[in-house]
Amino acid sequence: MPPSSADLLRWYDRHRRILPWRAAPGRTADPYHVWLSEIMLQQTTVAAVIPYYHRFLDLFPTIGDLARAETDRVMAAWAGLGYYARARNLHACARVVAAAGGFPATLDGLLALPGVGAYTAAAIGAIAFGLPVVPVDGNVERVTARLFALTDPLPAARRTLARHAATLNDSQPARARPSDFAQALFDLGAGICTPRNPACALCPWQGECAGLRQGIAAALPAKAPRAARPVRHGAHFRATDAAGQILLRRRPASGLLGGMLELPGTEWRAEPWAESEALAHAPLPGPWRQAGRVTHVFTHFTLHVDVYAARIGRFPNSAAQAGGLVFAARDLDGLALPSLMRKCLAATPPDRPTGVP
Ligand code: SF4
């Protein structure tokens, strides 16, 4: 038997979070707002997303505005949120939706959109279109594992958890309010059934929770031990000319940080780069000096970057021929630069003399 959806909805009516993308009680959410927030919230916290969400809506008030925007403008607005494939898919999806005249109102239609997977389709479907589905994110997985005392470890247990989660709305009160029910589950996971120290005494489902009854709730969901994150090494080069301009280049459109700007550099590989070996990849003749080391953690590896800096009088034509792009330092804030590159720029003292002519 699933726990009482009426109890959860009563709790939600009293304690629902106020979030900028949420509709007021009794109002229908705007699918553009729900979709935008859900894409931004993948792998990112609510607190980190809120300023980006507001900035996007200021720049692109409607999905048509976003669809018509230049890719660089979208990537620059996204810069800092990470996982840049999401921004590319976001832009592609906006174009598809704008061309179709609006979001599809079915799960299959939503699933066919670029960058929209099973969870996001269910979230938009439930919240914006009132489809009776349970979106299963990490919060809902955790609540489900505890409610049903499911002890098999993630990620292998994901299907079992999804199957049990899908039963949570098997009752009339949940079916009558799919949007609120989905958001109530999110709020329960985010505020009460938290990863550490769940506040079971405040939980509307405490009487029906098998994990609490068995005293194992806080240890769930179980997780298989993770393999150690591999380490990679790279070197990037900051060249500044007499006018204070910086040499950048664009990464290939696909792959990690695809389409973003970066300081020229080496590939990222398992072995560290000796200085002489790294300098063979400098975009210009030196002399270069080491200006710092940056560590950045990606989902699948940790990257250590040696940053080299040089000042030169003016950039030679060969730099542009090799794909170099020159930007004034004061314009860097508005560019599509990933956090890693902003760290590399900050690691380079901009005004220390280098002895470079
Ligand atoms: Fe989570 Fe505790 Fe509620 Fe169970 S009783 S669902 S463990 S907060």
What's this model's pTM, rounded to 2 decimal places? 0.80
Predicted local confidence at residue 157, as pLDDT:
96
Q: Which of 5, 12, 147 to mutate to test the pocket of ligand 1 (most atoms within 8 A of CB)?
A: 147
The SS3 assignment for 213 reads helix
Q: Which atom of ligand 1 is nearest to the CA of 217?
A: 7
CA distances from 330 to 62, 302, 335 (A): 30, 30, 10
pLDDT value, residue 351: 47
Q: Given this model, what pLDDT does residue 350 score?
A: 44
Nearest of 306, 305, 304, 309 to residue 349 by alpha carbon: 309
> What gap in Å lies between CA 112 and CA 104, rounded to an integer?
9
> Does 38 participate in catalysis according to the annotation?
yes
Closest CA to 193 of 148, 242, 241: 148
- What confidence score (pLDDT) does residue 348 get? 60
> Which residues in the chain belong to E strands, given as ranges?
231-240, 245-250, 261-262, 289-297, 302-311, 325-328
Distance separating alpha carbons of residues 227 and 224, to the nearest angstrom: 9
Whole-number Å distance, alpha carbon 147 to ligand 1 midpoint, is 6
SS3 content of the chain, % helix, strand, coil (to 5): 45, 15, 45
Chain segment 213-242, per-residue pLDDT in tens: 999 999 999 999 888 899 999 999 999 999
pLDDT digits (tens, 9 = 90+) for 182-203: 999 999 999 999 999 999 999 9
Q: What is the pLDDT of residue 349?
A: 55
**What is the 8-class DSSP label of residue 201?**
G
For ligand 1, the distance from its centroid to the CA atom of residue 287, given in whole angstroms, is: 61
C-alpha to C-alpha distance for 78 and 86, rounded to whole angstroms = 9
Q: At 126, is the secondary structure helix, strand, or coil? A: helix
What residues are in contact with ligand 1 under a 6 Å CB criterion? 143, 146-147, 192-193, 198, 200, 203, 205-206, 209, 211-212, 217
Regions of the chain where pLDDT drops below 50: 350-357
